[in-house]
A = this chain, B = another copy of it.
Amino acid sequence: MSEYRVVGKSVPRVDARDKVAGKCLFGADIKLPGMLQGRMLYSTRPHARILNIDTARAERLPGVRAVITGKDVPRRRFGTIVQDEPVMALDKVLFVGDRVAAVAADSLDTAEEAVSLIKVEYKDLPSLFDPREAMKPNAKVIHKDWESYGKGRFRTISDRAGNICGHSEFSMGDPEKGFSEADMIFEDEYTTPMVHQGYIEPHAATAMVEPSGQITVWSTTQGQFELRADLAGLFELPMSRIKVIPTEIGGAFGGKIAPLLEPACVVLSRMTGRPVQMVMSRRDEQIAARPRHPGLMRIKTGVKKDGTITAREVVIILDSGAYADFGPGAAYAAAVGGRGPYAIANARMEGFCVYTNKPSGGSYRAPGGPQVTFAIESHMDAIAEALGIDPLEIRLKNGLKEGDISYIGKRIERGALRDTLHRAAEGIGWGEPKEGPNRGRGLASAQWSNGGAAAGLTVKINDDGTASVVTGSVDATGSNTVIAQAVAEELNLPMSSIQVVTGDTDTALNAPLTGGSMIAYNMGKAAMLAAQDTRRQIMEVAAERLGVEQEKLRMENGQVWVKGEEDKRLSLGSITRTAQRFRGTLIVGKGSLPAPAPAFMMCSQGAEVEVDTQTGQVVIHKLVASHDVGFALNPDSVEGQLQGGMVQGLGAALMEDVRLNNGNVENPSFKDYKIPTAVDFPSIETSIVEQNSEEGPYGAKGVGETPINPPAAAIANAVYDAVGVRITDLPITPEKILEALREKADT
């Protein structure tokens, strides 16, 4: 680490003070002259034909400026993978929460009252709530016109047919032979519920359509370029006519990628000639946003007596809800990762994403990952127990190691899984005596790959030698800090001399959306390259002005010095100003890269729990994570990412569950839908393994997604270790534990 000056150091986040002080401008903070407030009317039926929408009373309400329904919006549909989602329901509603109408009014109160005055006449249709039912050949097809739907950006990701909007299948080796060589075959089924990203800031969008037709959209989006592309497609406009300005983002975790409010805001603004803002309520968020897909995992593994896995079959069924969104991608990721971080020569994996009349699932930190990891890692412990092998041992035995080929086709150089397993086990005192009864320890490992995306970024030297960096990436988790670090490193400048701003779709170069653990890996690299390009330009001018070869120069602390001649030097400000004035050279570096190969990450986590056998309550005493992050660009920031992901994983393990009753969300508030708070988890220990990636900046890999994968299995395994019951359907509620304890006592 010592070879670097700024990267690899835990410098404070550049946005820390302003965020903590509550001074950043989030989506709902946008204020424009004459701005109207919008509200959406959501469907109250899970599946119904719209016979009539009577907006007359709403329109007559003083202060109401426009009311729109499906007839006022583009007929085109949007979608990342399958273009199946209308801006507003066109003739049918497909879930409770489908967008039916929207209002723009002078005040939020008026808009809400107007929404309550809209009368919708529905004709109910039979609903499908179980993806297994929906997959049946004779099932009613929810999207009658599915064959006519266009394909989105990720067009080639999977097949589809009827209610199956995504299907991915992978096969390797000879699964039949593998199973025939096994001493024992284990089959299990696991389920995970719908869980919500629980970001604190709700969706917020503001649109201003000018008389010229020029559209400006402010959105708490994870990707301004994707949103612009979606809007350009929907409204059939050139991108030059649309500007998307990403606001500060108060949490997203995948939930703020696809358009949600923006198209309706654009239509309302176009109609009223006024800016229109929409902010979702928490209830809106819980019923009409894009949570994690419920998963059903069937897993079958053949093993030798010594624990060696000979074959595996995994089928993952994700419940897509009403629309596909990123569901087929999640099913793909779950299937491709169906072997876990293990070397399994013979395998068959299949992932399905299936339409139902439920809220549409979307992206949520490691889409597909937590579902399949819960299954694999619970299953591993079940096998270990049946074989009488230590859970740590069976993982070490089968884990991907030096020389193995990872899922992304690269040879693994060093045994990162082994390192992380040992550290996680050690962290929870694996094998040591326990401090009391009903205590248990569990391990779980996982793999993930970060995305590789073409990325670009510019570094401009200001007239005083400080630097302005424009990135097209949204800073959700400290990425602007990492970008500043890379620039500070390469230009040998203090962090305070570097200002990183997130640009809009006009001012920034194209950047990937903030997701897929992509930003540090791709934009960090672009920042490094841009700063190197900037440095080259500076050195060229300095060499000319100082009359020496570039090799004789060094750059430090805002100065370029002639080595060994301490009095011969120029400040970056002077270099910049004279370059501009006399050469017409504006010192601005561009860093851009083609989509790099993804990096493959492995990790292990351990949990020590105590189960109250009277109440069924699980108390987490210790949570430990050991992750290979390639190179920790900012160790504190990495630790924060790991902890944050694990807390979300813990929520999904123990408490979170969007409960539906006939398609209605029963717990649409944080009062009923509990997410972990500080009292629910212990301090979390993290341990970083650094096996440098080939293509990431300074060897870094992605960090954001992996930590959410193992917690549920680690906790479930610890619960089993503590009280001998295995919960296979998340969340692990006290009720389920008590029930399982009763069953166990009965047998």
Q: Does B239 contact A463, Cβ atoms closer than 8 Å?
A: yes
Residues from chain B with Cβ under 8 Å of A594 in the complex:
580-585
Asked if A214 is at the interface of the complex by the 8 Å CB criterion, the answer is: yes
Pick the contact of A229 from B24, B463, B590, B595 — CB < 8 Å?
Answer: B463
Q: In the complex the two chains form, is A23's CB within 8 Å of B211's CB?
A: yes
B580 touches A454 (CB 8 A): yes
Nearest-CB distance from A372 to chain B (Å)?
Answer: 29
Partner of A499, one of B17, B18, B241, B508: B241
Q: Could you tell me if A212 and B17 are in contact, using CB atoms closer than 8 angstroms?
A: yes
Binding-face segment, A189-197, A250-258, A466-474, A538-546: A466-474
Which residues of B lie under 8 Å from residue A16 when comparing CB positions? 212
Residues of B near A240 (CB, < 8 A) are: 462, 466-468, 496-499
The one of B23, B31, B593 in contact with A210, judged by C-beta atoms closer than 8 angstroms, is B23
CA distance A238 to B23 in the complex (A): 21
Residues of B contacting A460 in the complex (Cβ-Cβ under 8 angstroms): 506, 509
Interface: A200 (CB within 8 A):
no
**Contact between B586 and A509, CB atoms less than 8 A apart:** yes
- Check B25 against A243 for contact (C-beta < 8 Å): no
Closest Cβ–Cβ distance, residue A20 to chain B (whole Å) = 8
Does chain B have a CB within 8 A of A32? Answer: yes
| Beta-carbon contact of A507 and B496 below 8 Å | no
Interface-centre pick from A238, A240, A590 (highest chain B CB count, 10 A): A240
Inter-chain contact A468/B505, CB cutoff 8 Å: yes
Residues of B within 8 A of A510 (CB): 463, 580, 586
Give which listed residue, B33, B464, B508, contacts A238 with CB less than 8 A: B464
Minimum CB–CB distance for A63 against chain B, Å: 19
User: Closest CB of chain B to A17's CB: distance in Å?
Assistant: 4
Contact call B586/A456, Cβ cutoff below 8 A: yes
| Given A32-B31, A580-B510, A586-B509: A466 in contact with B239 (beta carbons within 8 A) | yes
Please encode chain A, from 33 to 58, with 1 for each CB lying within 8 Å of some chain B CB and 0 for all others.
10000000000000000000000000
Are A581 and B454 in touch, CB under 8 angstroms? yes
Chain B residues with CB under 8 A of A32: 25, 29, 31
The one of B31, B210, B243 in contact with A17, judged by C-beta atoms closer than 8 angstroms, is B210
Rounded to whole angstroms, the CA-CA distance of A564 and B16 in the bound complex is 59
Contacting residues of chain A (213-241) with chain B, CB-CB under 8 angstroms: 214, 225, 229, 232, 238-241
8 Å CB contact of A507 from B229, B462, B470: B470
- Give the complex CA separation of A18 and B213 in angstroms: 9
In this assembly, does A182 line the interface, its C-beta being within 8 Å of a C-beta of chain B?
A: no
**Roughly how many angstroms separate A23 CA and B214 CA in the complex, as a whole number?**
11
Answer yes or no: A679 CB below 8 A from chain B CBs: no
Q: Assess whether B506 is in contact with A225, with CB atoms less than 8 Å apart.
A: no
Write the nearest CB–CB distance from A191 to chain B, whole angstroms.
38
Measured between beta carbons, the chain B residues less than 8 angstroms from A584 are 454, 456, 592-595
- Cβ of A21 < 8 Å from any Cβ of B? yes
**Chain A 508-523, CB within 8 Å of chain B: the 1/0 string?**
1110000000000000
B-chain residues with CB within 8 Å of residue A592 when the two chains form the complex: 580, 584-586
Interface bits A315-348 vs B (CB < 8 Å: 1, else 0): 0000000000000000000000000000000000
A696 at the interface (CB under 8 A from B): no
Contacts of A273 in B (CB 8 A): 21, 23
Instruction: Tell me which residues across on chain B come within 8 A of A580, comparing CB atoms.
Output: 454, 456, 510, 592, 594
| Complex interface: chain B residues within 8 A of A18 (CB) | 210-212, 214
CB distance from A163 to the nearest CB of B (A): 32
Chain B residue at smallest Cβ distance from A495: B240
Asked whether any CB of chain B lies closer than 8 Å to the CB of A704, the reply is no
Closest-by-CB residue of B relative to A232 is: B464
**CA–CA, A466 and B273, complex, Å:** 25
A-B contact pairs, 10 of them (CB 8 A): A17-B211, A21-B210, A23-B273, A240-B466, A240-B496, A454-B581, A499-B506, A501-B506, A580-B592, A581-B595
Top 3 closest A-B pairs, CB basis? A584-B594, A31-B31, A240-B466
Question: Can you add 14 more A-B contacts, CB < 8 Å, to A17-B212, A21-B273, A586-B592?
Answer: A17-B210, A18-B211, A18-B212, A23-B210, A25-B33, A31-B33, A238-B497, A240-B497, A240-B499, A507-B507, A581-B595, A583-B594, A584-B595, A585-B592
